[in-house]
């Protein structure tokens, strides 16, 4: 109906002039999507898609960041009303700090910093350019929040990292962390033994692999071959659909 279209435009215009209500409506829509599955209570066509992890290690949800996110989500779920129809009034009654923290939680579970293998033939879902831009923006967010994966609890373990990368990369990593002489001690070993020894050799080190690092603002430490527009170049292993290689390193490092 023409009248409904006119009213929608008038509401959009009024909405644009009321940032406080816009903020609350955005929070309302995100909370519904995060905590109330299939809710239809919002007229705002905004949603944060929760990120899921494919081909991830079975113990990924046991890591410290995952446990913190789950605990935070459980706490908010306990505080929010049981009915989605009561959420708007509940948000109105919340303090500004609680609203901001709730918004941050809802947005956080939609952050996707995963690299993924790009198929050789376009499937319309993911492209090399799209993945590269995603990773570049994840670096922007990581710098903004001061991400430190070592402080967050990540360690280069046999099962969580070394077993999933190639032998040459293990040697390169140990060389970078401990030096050529130490790396030479394990370069004759089979893959499984090499992975175990690499974990032992780096147990007291604060070293992290390149796929876990955040390039600084000037680009120092960025992946080699960065694009001229500042976006991180897509790792070579993502440009085809072959199995193995360093792609598992990125998945293991999630």
Judge residue 232's burial from the number of C-beta atoms within 10 Å of its C-beta, 0-12 exposed, 13-18 middle, 19 or more buried: buried
pLDDT score of 58: 78
pLDDT digits 0-9 by tens, 24-66: 999 999 999 999 988 888 999 998 888 888 777 778 889 999 9
Whether 229 shows a pLDDT value over 60: the answer reads no
Write down the pLDDT at residue 57. Answer: 76
Do the Cβ atoms of 195 and 152 come closer than 8 Å?
no
Question: Is it the case that residue 218 has pLDDT exceeding 50?
Answer: no
Write down the pLDDT at residue 115. 82
Which of the residue ranges 62-76, 214-228, 238-252 would you say has the lowest mean pLDDT?
Answer: 238-252
Mean per-residue pLDDT over the chain, rounded: 85
Integer Cα distance of 4 and 17 in angstroms: 20
Higher local confidence (pLDDT), 25 or 242: 25
String of DSSP letters for the chain: -HHHHHHHHHHHHHHHT-HHHHHHHHHHHHHHHHHSTT----------PPP--TT--TTGGGSHHHHHHHHHHHHHHHHS-SSGGGHHHHHHTS-HHHHHHHHHHHHHTT------PPPSS--SS--HHHHHHHHHHHHHHHHHHT--TTTTT----TTTTGGGS-HHHHHHHHHHHH-HHHHHTTTTS-HHHHHHHHHHHTTT-----GGG----TT-TTPPTT--TTSPPPPPGGGGS--SSTTHHHHHHT-
pLDDT for the residue numbered 149: 94
pLDDT at 124: 67
pLDDT digits (tens, 9 = 90+) for 93-146: 999 999 999 999 999 999 999 887 777 666 667 788 888 899 999 999 999 999
Q: What is the pLDDT of residue 236?
A: 45
């Amino acid at each position: 109906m023409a009248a409904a279209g006119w009213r929608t435009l008038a509401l959009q215009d009024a909405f644009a002039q009321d940032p406080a209500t816009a903020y609350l409506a955005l929070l309302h829509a995100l909370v519904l999507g995060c905590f109330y599955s299939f809710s239809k209570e919002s007229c705002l066509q905004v949603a944060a898609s929760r990120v899921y992890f494919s081909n991830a290690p079975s113990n990924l949800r046991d890591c410290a960041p995952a446990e913190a996110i789950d605990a935070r989500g459980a706490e908010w779920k306990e505080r929010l009303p049981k009915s989605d129809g009561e959420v708007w009034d509940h948000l109105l009654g919340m303090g500004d700090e609680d609203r901001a923290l709730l918004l941050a939680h809802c947005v956080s579970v939609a952050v996707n910093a995963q690299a993924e293998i790009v198929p050789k033939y376009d499937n319309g879902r993911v492209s090399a350019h799209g993945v590269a831009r995603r990773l570049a923006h994840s670096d922007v967010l990581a710098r903004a929040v001061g991400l430190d994966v070592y402080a967050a609890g990540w360690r280069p373990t046999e099962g969580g990292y070394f077993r999933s990368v190639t032998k040459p990369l293990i040697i390169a990593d140990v060389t970078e962390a401990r030096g050529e002489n130490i790396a030479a001690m394990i370069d004759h070993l089979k893959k499984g033994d090499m992975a175990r020894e690499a974990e032992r050799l780096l147990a007291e080190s604060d070293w992290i692999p390149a796929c876990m690092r955040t390039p600084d603002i000037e680009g120092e430490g960025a992946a080699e071959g960065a694009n001229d527009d500042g976006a991180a170049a897509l790792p070579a292993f993502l440009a085809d659909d072959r199995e193995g290689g360093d792609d598992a390193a990125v998945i293991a490092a999630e």
